[in-house]
Amino acid sequence: MEAAGANWGVVVVAAGRGTRMGTAESKQYLLLRDKPILVHTLERFQAMDDIAEVTLVVGEHDVDRCRAFVREYGLHKVKQVAAGGSERQHSVHRGLAALSGAVDWVMVHDGVRPLVTERAVRACMNGALQTEAAVLAVPVKDTIKQVNEAGVITATPDRRSLWAIQTPQAFRRSLLQQALDQAAKDGFLGTDDAMAVERLGVSVYVAEGDYTNIKMTTPEDLPYAEFLLASRERERGKES
C-alpha cells in the first residue's frame, strides 16, 4: 500500500515551553530565516499532497497567535488549532480527537523539528502502512553508557542495537487511539507515542531518518539550522 492511497492527518505538537534554549520566548516561536520555527514545520506538511489535514496543538495562551500564523502563511491544511494538555501525551490525545473522521492514518510530529525532509516523512508513512506503526530514527553514533546515581558506569549497551528516535511517528489512527486511551486509563505517561503502542504488544517498525532532522532545543541549534537550510538551497540551485 502506498502513502498516496491513504487518508493521512498530522498532529503537530508545540505546546511545550522548553527552558534549555535560554530565551523568554518559547522555542517554537523563535525566528528561523525570518519565520517562526513552527511555521517552517507546518510548511513541510502543507507542501505534501499526501497530507489531507493538520491539527496543531499549542499552549492555551498561544492559540490565537497560531491561528493568525495559519492565516498569514496560507496554511490551509491546518484545520484546527487546539489547546494542549499538561503533558505531551495529553496534547497528542487532544490533537488526535480534533482530526476529522475521514482520517484513517496519522503522524505525530514535534513542532520544533522544522528540517525533516519529505523523503524521511514518506519513509515513515510507508513503514506504517506496511506494519500499522512506524517511527523515524537514526543509528546512534557514540558509545552509550548506563550510569547509576553515584556516577558509576554500570553497563555499555551494544551500539549496533541503539537508535535515536525522532518524529514523525506514524500509525493507523484507530491503533494510536486505542493505545492512548489505554495509557490514560492506566495512568501511564510515555516519552513518545510509540511507547503507548508498544504497551499493547504491537511491534513498531523503524524507518531510517536523517541526522539533520534536529529538534531545536539549545541556542547552538539555531545557527546549525540556518546552515542546513542554506546548504539545501545550494543543492537545489545545482539541480535546477
Q: Residues 86-113: pLDDT tens digits?
A: 999 999 999 999 999 999 999 999 999 9
**Preceding peptide of 168 cis, ω within 30°:** yes
What pLDDT is attached to residue 1? 47
Side-chain half-sphere CA neighbours of 225 within 13 A: 25
The secondary structure of residue 179, as a DSSP letter, is H
Compute the distance between CA of residue 17 and CA of residue 27 in angstroms, rounded to an integer: 7
DSSP letter string over 54-75? EEEEE-GGGHHHHHHHHHHTT-
Q: What domains can be seen in the chain, in order of their start residue?
A: 3-239 (3.90.550.10)
Residues 21-37 have a mean pLDDT of 85
Tell whether the model's pLDDT for residue 24 goes beyond 80: no
Residues 78-82 have a mean pLDDT of 97
Structure-block grid coordinates of residue 199:
504497551
* Residue 237 CA, distance from chain mean position: 28
240 compared with 148, residue with greater pLDDT: 148
pLDDT-derived band at 26 (thresholds 50, 70, 90) equals confident
